Amino acid sequence: VLAETGTGQGHYVGTVPVESTLGSQGVYSMVDPTRGAGRTYDASLGRRGVNPLVTDTDNLWGDGTLADPQTTAVDAHHGAAATWDFYEDGFGRIGIGDDGVGASSLVHAGRFANAFWDDYCFCMTYGDGRGGLGPLTSYDIVGHEMTHGVTSATAGLVYRGEPGGLNEATSDILGTMVEFSADSATDPGDYVLGGEVFTRYDPATRYIRRMDDPHADGLSLSCYSRRVARVDVHYSSGPANHFFYLLAEGSGAKEINGIAHDSPTCDGSAVSGIGREQATAIWYRALTIYMTPRTDYRAARGATVQAAKDLYGPGSVPVVAVRSAWSAVRVG
Ligand code: ASN
Ligand code: ZN
């Protein structure tokens, strides 16, 4: 088999290189030899639970429309590559498990609006969407799902209560940073989770979650309170998402890549941001060095303060900003 670079047109990612493998039959497979042999399979072509790899004869994949089933495979395969590169380039992490092994992606899993990471198959499953949503394969969702694998391999935050909210927030935070790092012309970065997958695109009103103002969805919590223990982990993630947004970007109204963001603090304080790069480095270090399966909000504050001290020095601007941003969401 030979490593090859083809070209793909995804629905979200636009025109991108596709790393593939050329077999002896002259057929290309969606297996990325440059990233741990990460593979992309098509469930719609599966028989008796066995799903074939996505294959092609000319190494030109998808046409950007959802009429071509390869289009969603391009989004998933390229999103997995972008996630791999985010972790390797940013933190020297080689794959989700930091063991050089690529994850698998399964596209066209059915007419449902969700996506899942599974630690046991080391794979993602993507629904094709329904009810106003397209395939769940935008950069932020791919990054969110694969980050569940990173969390499992590191902090191991349990998926309930406060640690569960922090597990979900870690996926939203680092999935969003995957979207920014991809620096895509067709899907530039924003703090709106899943806005891209809505057929009638309107990130002001249609999204899965947003980090600048989590409670804008009516269900997520923007501010820490004892209620975090009583809501679903996708809503108790809110205070940590809000913390991260404030840490990176600061409070107040701000346009980012053409999308309006506005982050009111919970205590009326003004917070100035330290930028995405430092905020991401702090969260990643806290996750991989200091958080444990039972880390709660209070401990997450301690973990991120310690990570910021390690990286930038005690008393540094980032350490002060971490404290201010947690206090602004009522953790502290
Ligand atoms: N898409 C969801 C998530 O990754 C699936 C779930 O509820 N675990 O959070
Ligand atoms: Zn999740």
Is position 145 annotated as part of the catalytic site? yes
Distance CA 190, CA 210 (A): 9
Strands 31-32 and 38-42: antiparallel
22 pLDDT above the threshold of 80: yes
Ligand 1 atom closest to the Cα of residue 114 is: 1
Which one of the listed residues 108, 144, 148, 234 is annotated catalytic? 234
> Ligand 1 pocket: which of 83, 106, 112, 114 to mutate (most atoms <8 Å of CB)?
114
Share of the chain above pLDDT 90, in %: 98
Ligand 1 pocket (Cβ < 6 Å) reads 114-116, 144-145, 148, 168
pTM for the full predicted model: 0.98
Which domains does the chain show, CATH number per domain?
Answer: 2-137 (3.10.170.10), 161-328 (1.10.390.10)
| pLDDT per residue as tens digits for the range 223-271 | 999 999 999 999 999 999 999 999 999 999 999 999 999 999 999 999 9
- How far apart are the CA of 116 and the centre of ligand 1, in A? 5
Ligand closest to Cα of 114 equals 1
- 277 in active site: no
Query: Over the chain, what is the mean pLDDT?
Result: 98
Q: Identify which of 243, 292, 297, 249 has the alpha carbon closest to the alpha carbon of residue 266.
A: 243
pLDDT for 2 equals 83
299-320: pLDDT as tens digits: 999 999 999 999 999 999 999 9
Nearest CA to ligand 1 atom 8: 116
Distance CA 209, CA 167 (A): 15
Cβ–Cβ < 8 Å for 293, 155: yes
State in Å: Cα 220 to ligand 2 middle: 14
pLDDT of residue 1: 73
pLDDT digits (tens, 9 = 90+) for 201-236: 999 999 999 999 999 999 999 999 999 999 999 999
